[in-house]
Structure 1
Amino acid sequence: MSKPLTIGVLSRESGVNLETIRFYERSGLLPAPQRSAAGYRHYQAMDVRRLRFIRRGRELGFSLEEIRSLLDLAAHPESPCASADQMVREHLDTIEARIRDLQNMQAELNKIAGCQSGHAEHCRLLEALDSRDCCA
């Protein structure tokens, strides 16, 4: 067995901050660590790997419940990965919808950008928000 890691070392090695590590423990995403006689948490190298997995999943936008499912799937390598593929496809659909929404927002903001009015009375943004059309 390798030398146990402190929570500070685990944080540095995994790129996950201390409070998030504690949260993941409370939520069951990270197993409760062994404790020293003084009560200090002692982690193992596999905890670093697990936290990196969780962090990467979060970076890709997966929810904690989705990550929980993926961790379970990873723990059973003989299982089919159809559920993971379905999760990816659903996630892609959501992201594509968000991109479309952001592009629509960008187009609308481009229409009202560059207001030359010196007064709020004729501000393009305020007009757009208030559905006014006095300075088109």
Structure 2
Amino acid sequence: MKLINPAPTVKAPQDRFTGDVYLSPLHTGEAPSQLTAALVHFTPGARTNWHSHPVGQTLHCTEGAGLVVTRDGTVIFMRPGDTVHTPPGEEHWHGATSESMMCHLAVVERLNGESAIWLEPVDDADYQTAQSREHN
């Protein structure tokens, strides 16, 4: 057993996120483990690009209010304590609502060194459409 000192929080890369998003890395597994975990903090309206994960992803909301949206238009509204799993290869995005910050624990596994396949940004119209579905 060992205590893992926290890595510094960093601003998420703008080529994968819209708005201000901050990553606090928690753990990267040592072989044979392929586990990666991080706390991700989204300011209101901030979100990921469309992306997928080769081995899936589990998100656990720790504070605020957020959205997880799939290509087929499914919208899940996350609140603290909610956990959402996206299966391998499912294209999706996630982020905060326009009225609230949101923080989630993101847990993924790497496959051949890759934990995510990053795609195009979510445009403002698609973001607003998803948010309006959540509020109905």
TM-score after normalising by structure 1: 0.21
TM normalised by structure 2 equals 0.21
Larger relative contact order (CA 8 Å, sep ≥ 6): 2
Larger Rg: 1
Query: Which structure shows the higher strand fraction?
Result: 2
Instruction: Select the structure that is richer in helix.
Output: 1
